[in-house]
Amino acid sequence: MHAKILALVFVLATVPAILGSGAVLAPNAMAAETFHKLSGLQIRAKVAGMEITDDVHWRDVYERSETLTSYSMGRVLIGKWWVQKDQLCLDLKEEPTAGCYEVWMSGNNVELRPEGSDLPLEGVLQRSTNRE
């Protein structure tokens, strides 16, 4: 999951450089998606048996048994996931992204938003690809 944090840092470092370079963005380019917050029942219904991925560096597989398997930069970690108080909770022991998150969706795009932070983990919800 370290790759997720590194990807987020890269984006945060790159956006000001792009905007400062005179790049032209459409007025609604960043506001094109409307995300809505999921309830606990919606989180379980959407996530169980699926995976969330950035399609490059990492993917987290949410098995119906509440087993969480995280594939990140050649590493595989096994933990658990559950829903508590309308949040998706993750436990992967030594990972800094362990904890509970609000789940926000727009289509298949997902944002896992930790309490007290404006920096969500972003990914795409899709059927598990069963690849390592």
CATH annotation of 2-127: 2.40.128.640
The phi and psi torsions of 108 (rounded to 5 degrees) equal -95, 0
The answer to whether residues 30 and 19 touch, using CB atoms and an 8 Å cutoff, is no
Q: Read off the pTM.
A: 0.73
The domains of the chain are located at 2-127
Reading the block at residue 31, the tokens are 């506001």
Q: Is 121 exposed, middle or buried (0-12, 13-18, 19+ CB in 10 A)?
A: buried
Quickly state the pLDDT bin for 131 (edges 50, 70, 90). Answer: low
Lowest model confidence (mean pLDDT) among 10-24, 68-82, 84-98, 100-114: 10-24
Partners of 68 in the β-ladder: 62, 79
Reading the block at residue 77, the tokens are 């970690």
The answer to whether residues 9 and 52 touch, using CB atoms and an 8 Å cutoff, is no
